[in-house]
Amino acid sequence: MQKNDSIRIEREVIEMKRFIPAVFILIGIYWTVMSFSYGLWIRGGPGGGFLPLVAGILAIIFGVVVTMAEFKDKTPTNFTFKAFLPPLILLGIIVVSQLIGIIITLVIYIFSWIRFYEKESYLKSGLVAVLCPAVIYAIFVMWLKVPLPQGILGLL
């Protein structure tokens, strides 16, 4: 019940639907302004700024149209801060992989997620945590020779 209330509060505080297209209007304005500095027409043909200008103007026009339509629409947006959990975990994986290598990091991540977040059994968590990185290692490292980050273990 408390959880539902907190989501409802988030929905009321940030009305993402109107905010998102408005951000693209600002980006469109930046693109349009910057396009002039790249040159619109050079040596009898389009310069580096020609296509950014077209893209920027389109973003402004359709951004305005969509934002105005969203203000008329009263249905709430299902926004929740829980959406930032996967990106934060992936950023954590990148940091840890610099120390102990990506394969071991993935083993730890998969096991922790399945066992502690999803509350699955130790056996299932362990099995997936070993099998998935093993398949990744076989395909990417052994077959395709991709030099995945090995961290300090790579120095040994």
Q: Is 65 in the site for another protein (CB under 8 A)?
A: yes
Q: Does 94 bind another protein (CB under 8 A)?
A: yes
Total Cβ atoms within 10 A of residue 29: 15
Residue 73 DSSP SS3: coil
| Pick from 118, 119, 116, 93: nearest CA to 106 | 93
Helix (H) or strand (E) holding 41: strand 41-42
Q: Which amino acid would we find at residue 63?
A: G
Q: Where are the alpha helices (DSSP H) in 101-146?
A: 102-112, 122-136
Contact pattern for another protein over residues 95 through 134, marking x by CB under 8 A:
-------x---x--xx--xx---x-x---x---x---xx-
Residues making contact with another protein (CB under 8 A): 16-17, 20-21, 24, 27-28, 31, 34, 38-39, 42-52, 54-56, 58-59, 62-63, 65-66, 69-70, 77-80, 82-87, 89-91, 93-94, 102, 106, 109-110, 113-114, 118, 120, 124, 128, 132-133, 136, 139-140, 144, 146-149
